Amino acid sequence: MRFKNEADLQKWLEQARNGEPKQVKKTIAPALTQIDTSLQRRIIGIDTALRCTGWGIIDVRNGTMTAVDCGVIKNTPKDKISDCLRRLSIGMRELITLYKPDYAVMEGAFFFRNVHTALMLGSARGTVLAALAENGISTYEYAPRRIKQSVCGFGNASKEQVAVLVAQFLKIQTNHIALDATDALAMAICHAQALAVSGGLGIPEPL
């Protein structure tokens, strides 16, 4: 179950607080077609940033999504840019070695008025993409609005609202999970749903 707008989500949250929670279906989207439903796929979502990059991994098998792990790669505000990128590169390679994802998902680039901010995000994205490409992992990009629509049903959901629906989709507690990590899980869910619809015909070209 997804929501048409923020008012619907807030109504659902109020019902949940009053002891009448509604369940969001765990299965991904409509019936899987044109793909092998017995094949397990592991997807990593990556919410890139220079100081705090969120990551979230799910497995998809027989139309069901299961959370594997999530977290953040953090750098302090005092760290040099080169050190931040080095740690991000090392962290991504460790995640790839440990979890061996089949696909990776990132948000599409934002428009920034601040050129410095855009350059920093571009550097972080490039570092992550390089690590994924070195390991032969196809990486897909979705607009932030599409990711929110996929998980919440409307494209202007807040990070907190995304976290609530991610918890419902994956049957996990997200109260103590960083919002950057739940955003990354939402990216993985978005790609899992794209794989399910019409055999993945709506999936964008890999980066």
The 10s digit of each residue's pLDDT in 110-169 is 656 677 778 888 999 999 999 999 999 999 999 999 999 999 988 889 999 999 999 999
> Which domains does the chain carry?
26-143+176-196 (3.30.420.10)
Query: What are the C-alpha distances in Å from 149 to residues 6, 127, 131, 186, 187?
Result: 11, 28, 28, 10, 11
**3-state percent helix, strand, coil for the chain, nearest multiple of 5:** 45, 20, 35
The amino acid present at 200, given as its one-letter code, is G
Q: Kindly give, in sequence order, each residue whose CB lies less than 8 Å from that of residue 126, ignoring residues fewer than 6 positions away.
A: none
What integer best gives the mean pLDDT of the chain?
84
Instruction: Give the C-alpha separation, 103 to 112, whole Å.
Output: 27
Q: What pLDDT does 84 receive?
A: 96
DSSP code for 27: B
DSSP code for 77: T
pLDDT greater at residue 134 or residue 5: 134
Instruction: Give the C-alpha separation, 19 to 29, whole Å.
Output: 27
Q: What pLDDT does 15 receive?
A: 61
Q: How many CB atoms neighbour CB 10 within 10 A?
A: 12
> Is residue 30 pLDDT above 60, yes or no?
no
> Is residue 99 pLDDT above 50, yes or no?
yes
> Is residue 40 pLDDT above 70, yes or no?
yes
Instruction: Give the C-alpha separation, 123 to 85, whole Å.
Output: 8
> Is residue 86 pLDDT above 90, yes or no?
yes
> Is residue 12 pLDDT above 60, yes or no?
no
Provide the β-strand partners of residue 55.
46, 71
Asked if residues 26 and 166 have their Cβ atoms less than 8 Å apart, the reply is no
Catalytic residue numbers read 47, 107, 180
> Is residue 76 pLDDT above 50, yes or no?
yes
> Is residue 37 pLDDT above 50, yes or no?
no
